[in-house]
Chain A
């Protein structure tokens, strides 16, 4: 089934589609979407790309509960005092929203307090996205309640 793709381009972005493989016996074609952004040469200002980042592959399975993801987003937004219109979702990488090491430890502490869990350094180091944090939290809660 062709997945709907929204490509919002800020004038200087081009999105190309190339059908990847045709699954035998099924009427499904998965599109691999790649977006290439041309750095605007004509523009005088340093423009940010306003297009929403399009994931390379559409993930169907979620390893963290939406509820947990939402709570993590809230804690992160508070810690980083992000502007209201900033998008923070499961896929958001902490580095991409400007969280430095001090922010990160404060976020981890905030998560520990909110969820009554304890996160060790090596687990914390593995976290790259909000989704990763949420998945770890769910896992720790499950282990705690077991």
Chain B
């Protein structure tokens, strides 16, 4: 997938810098999401966040039920991860409302399949186009992707994550024939593990973008194809005509993907809806515009896209 176009010569949007140690400072507004093709990702590293007063502040941003959920996790590390996840979602969303909406005041609902969405109150008319978000976490990195007006799915995984089960066994159980073939052809175990993680995160990102849950988009019903030119394509198994099958809505292929190595430690996959017309595809399709920040909310934001911390695979 081609790299996003270089920044335009017009005055660049204010790059957030170090806000200094003053906590409770308002979150610096990020550059706006200029189009439906732009995806902004904010991530944090839980292992770097050990300051008790900062964690306490994050905890206070959560709703009572989020706090209760976080505390019901088994062990300090998981509890901290749960708090940071919610704090990241809330602070990130707040940034994109010009900080007019306090992180604490967001409310969430789940769609009928369980995908979390923002619950906007009817008087929030200032939000002309809805914000979409999706979150993914591993024990060492939590990422929140945000878009304007297009559904998004994001998945991150430790790039070195080892599976307990053999890769090809997992693939045979859950993936499609073309994906199994792709993996089976890779001679070395490390290479195979790496490609498995790429396919896994891409498939997860698609399912999360679709918002229908794991059973709404079974992994073995769609294939991710990693082409030689780094293009990522999705191919849906042709639906067998069966009058009684009303449970599985046709899986769509009009989705766009981005894959990157994040922080030199994680594999990140993003999936957004593709609104290009068929004449745009192949040659004219615009690249997905990706901007990534590493953040410690209220303390520090660092724009890392364009640096070594974000290596676009495609």
Measured CB to CB, the nearest residue on chain A to B67 is A39
Let me know if A125 and B164 touch, CB within 8 A: no
Let me know if A102 and B157 touch, CB within 8 A: yes
In A33-51, which residues have CB < 8 Å from any B CB?
37, 39, 43-49
Let me know if A122 and B215 touch, CB within 8 A: yes
Q: Mark B149-177, 1 if CB is under 8 A from A, else 0.
A: 00000000100010111000110011000
Assembled-state Cα–Cα distance A97/B172 (Å): 27
In the complex where A39-B59, A97-B78 touch, is A121 in contact with B169 (Cβ < 8 A)? no
Tell me, yes or no, whether A124 is within 8 Å of chain B by CB: yes
Assembled-state Cα–Cα distance A43/B59 (Å): 14
In B52-106, which residues have CB < 8 Å from any A CB?
52, 55-56, 59, 67, 71-76, 78-81
Assembled-state Cα–Cα distance A49/B68 (Å): 11
Let me know if A92 and B55 touch, CB within 8 A: no
Residues in B whose Cβ lies below 8 Å from that of A106: 163-165, 170
Let me know if B52 and A101 touch, CB within 8 A: no
Q: Mark B121-139, 1 if CB is under 8 A from A, else 0.
A: 0000000000000000111
Tell me, rounded to whole Å, the shortest Cβ–Cβ distance linking A49 to chain B: 6
Interface size class of B (residues with CB under 8 A): 20 to 34
Q: Contacting A124 at CB < 8 Å: which of B56, B79, B81, B214?
A: B214
Tell me, yes or no, whether A98 is within 8 Å of chain B by CB: yes
Let me know if B170 and A109 touch, CB within 8 A: yes
Tell me, yes or no, whether B204 is within 8 Å of chain A by CB: yes
Residues in B whose Cβ lies below 8 Å from that of A43: 52
Assembled-state Cα–Cα distance A45/B214 (Å): 37
Tell me, rounded to whole Å, the shortest Cβ–Cβ distance linking B260 to chain A: 19
Tell me, rounded to whole Å, the shortest Cβ–Cβ distance linking A89 to chain B: 11
Residues in B whose Cβ lies below 8 Å from that of A86: 74-75
Residues in B whose Cβ lies below 8 Å from that of A46: 52, 55-56, 76, 79-80
Tell me, yes or no, whether B200 is within 8 Å of chain A by CB: yes
Q: Contacting A102 at CB < 8 Å: which of B73, B137, B161?
A: B161
Tell me, yes or no, whether B213 is within 8 Å of chain A by CB: yes
Let me know if B52 and A45 touch, CB within 8 A: yes
Tell me, rounded to whole Å, the shortest Cβ–Cβ distance linking A85 to chain B: 10
Interface set of A (CB-CB < 8 Å, partner B):
37, 39, 43-49, 53, 78-79, 83, 86-87, 92-93, 95-98, 100-102, 105-106, 109-110, 120-122, 124-125
Interface set of B (CB-CB < 8 Å, partner A):
52, 55-56, 59, 67, 71-76, 78-81, 137-139, 157, 161, 163-165, 169-170, 173-174, 200, 204, 213-215, 218
20 pairs of residues in contact across A and B, judged by CB atoms under 8 Å: A37-B71, A39-B56, A45-B52, A46-B52, A46-B55, A47-B76, A48-B76, A49-B71, A79-B164, A86-B75, A92-B74, A93-B72, A97-B74, A98-B73, A98-B81, A101-B204, A102-B200, A121-B215, A124-B215, A125-B215
